[in-house]
Amino acid sequence: MSGAVEATGLVKRYKEVTALDGLDLHVPEGTVLALLGPNGAGKTTAVSILATLLQPDAGSATVAGADLLASPAEVRRRIGLSGQFAAVDEHLTGFENLDMIGRLYHLGRAAARARARALLERFNLTAAADRPVKTYSGGMRRRLDLAGAIVAEPPVLFLDEPTTGLDPRGRTEMWGVIRALVGRGTTLLLTTQYLEEADQLADDIVVIDHGREIAHGTADELKARVGGERIEITVTSPDAVEPARLILDRFSDGRAQVARSRTVTAPISGGPGAFREVLAAIEEAAIAVYDVGLRRPTLDDVFLALTGHAAQPSEEAEPNGEAS
């Protein structure tokens, strides 16, 4: 029953905003939970509370067996945290950063140095080890930041949006690094705005919005609710939206919905074959289209399917899901 992370009824309010509104989390030991949601959904707040950076207004939690409120110092000994904004010192070298963190975990001088060297090697940063971090690329910084989080080999790891802002290559690299980590039995709670990232890395996904859980399940379960691939049609005239929606509805496994003005989207299976059939039907109905695409579901689609509205403050859509 007791997992590596157990949180019950976490609440955090700022003056008018309720950042967390009674969130429960259960992460069994050695598994990966992704907290999926748009900006402002409360993901960072949840991680900050579990990493002892913030005090919840209500609720309780244990992390790696230590009670969050009663013994935060004990929690800090058992966790690693890597934030959304790479929290490494840009004037120090990669080695100096990791060495410092090791010392602050009280590994001892020799052990901290050895550990820093080993991690730099493992994260493919040895060549840059003695260069100030400000000369690093975004992906290198993220890897160093992640290395900093695992200096003390903590049983529980929190990663807050580990790939936000990385280019697709940096993202893929980061995924590889994270997978290798998890393979060693670390329990991981990660936050992300990307359904694909949650799909790639997590055993279990909690979708949150406005500080509340709105869905919970494996990637497959969520996809079953959202549909696998989606077809998206943008029509040129507002009058064509409804006819296009009706056509999509015929071919869709789920329901076609109006995503934005003049854009209709629906889950579809059958890949390019089904895609061609839809195109033919659109042609037959003489609907003028501006754009038609087939793509994998994004956070927006999850939100559409689960709540009927788009993820509210999402600035970034999934960048690498286009297949049109």
Partner 1 sequence: MKGLLRLAVDSHVIAKRNVIKIKRVPEVLVFVLISPIMFVLLFAYVFGDSIAIPGGSYREFLIGGIFAQTVVFGATFTGAGLADDMQKGIMSRFRALPMSRAAVLVGRTASDVIYNVLSLAIMAITGLIVGWRLHTGPLEAAAGFALLLAFAYAFSWVMAYVGLLVPSVEVINNASFMVIFPLTFIANTFVPSENLPGVLRAFAEWNPVSAVTQAARELFGNIPPGTPEPSVWPLQNAVAYTLIWVVAIIAVFAPLAVNRYRRRP
If phi over 0 gives left and psi between -120 and 50 gives alpha, with beta otherwise, what is residue 299? Answer: alpha
Q: Which listed residue (5, 31, 34, 48) binds partner 1 by CB under 8 A?
A: 48
Helix, strand, coil in percent for the chain, rounding step 5: 40, 25, 35
Radius of gyration of the chain (CA): 22
Q: How far is the CB of 139 from partner 1 (least distance, A)?
A: 17
Between 27 and 66, whose beta carbon lies closer to partner 1?
66
According to DSSP H, which parts of the chain are helical? 43-50, 72-78, 94-104, 109-122, 138-149, 168-183, 195-201, 219-226, 241-251, 271-284, 299-307
Site track 121-160 with partner 1 (rule: CB under 8 A), x = hit: -----------x---------------x------------
Of the pair 159, 198, the CB lying nearest partner 1 is at 159
Instruction: Please give the Cα distance from 141 to 138 (Å, whole number).
Output: 5
Select the residue interacting with partner 1 from 17, 67, 85, 237 (CB under 8 A): 85
Of the candidate spans 94-102, 227-235, 258-266, 312-320, the one that interacts with partner 1 by CB under 8 A turns out to be: 94-102
Closer residue to partner 1, CB minimum distance, 31 or 93: 93
Binding mask 171-210 for partner 1 (x = CB under 8 A): ----------------------------------------
Q: What angle do helix axes 168-183 and 138-149 make, rounded to 10 degrees?
A: 20
Instruction: Decide whether 88 or 215 has the Cβ nearer to partner 1.
Output: 88
- The residue written with tokens 């493919």 in the block is 124
Q: Which residue of 58, 106, 176, 269 would you call a contact of partner 1, by CB under 8 A?
A: 106
Closer residue to partner 1, CB minimum distance, 125 or 215? 125
Query: Residue 52 interacts with partner 1 (CB under 8 A)?
Result: yes
Among the listed ranges 87-95, 114-122, 269-277, 302-310, the one in contact with partner 1 (CB under 8 A) is 87-95
> Is 57 one of the binding residues for partner 1 (CB under 8 A)?
no
For partner 1, the binding residue among 89, 213, 249, 277 (CB under 8 A) is 89
Establish how many alpha carbons lie within 13 A of residue 130's alpha carbon, considering only the half-sphere containing its beta carbon. 1
* DSSP per-residue string spanning 133-196: GGGS-HHHHHHHHHHHHTTT--SEEEEESTTTT--HHHHHHHHHHHHHHHHTT-EEEEEES-HH
| Cα–Cα distance, 228 to 292 (Å, whole number) | 17
281 near partner 1 (CB under 8 A): no
Of the candidate spans 98-106, 122-130, 176-184, 232-240, the one that interacts with partner 1 by CB under 8 A turns out to be 98-106
Is 291 one of the binding residues for partner 1 (CB under 8 A)? no
Selection from 297, 300, 256, 248 nearest residue 274 by Cα: 248
What is the side-by-side strand order in the sheet with 5-13?
18-27, 5-13, 58-63, 66-67
Task: Choose which of 26, 28, 39, 77 interacts with partner 1 (CB under 8 A).
Answer: 77
The Cα 133–Cα 93 span in angstroms is 5
Q: Closest distance between partner 1 and the C-beta of residue 197, in Å?
A: 21
Cα distances from 115 to residues 1, 87, 97, 100, 182, in angstroms, run 34, 19, 12, 11, 19
Given the complex with partner 1, which of 45 and 192 has the nearer CB atom? Answer: 45
Closer residue to partner 1 in complex, CB, 149/202: 149
Which residues bind to partner 1, rule: CB under 8 A? Answer: 48, 51-55, 73, 76-77, 79, 81, 83, 85-92, 96, 100-101, 103-106, 132, 148
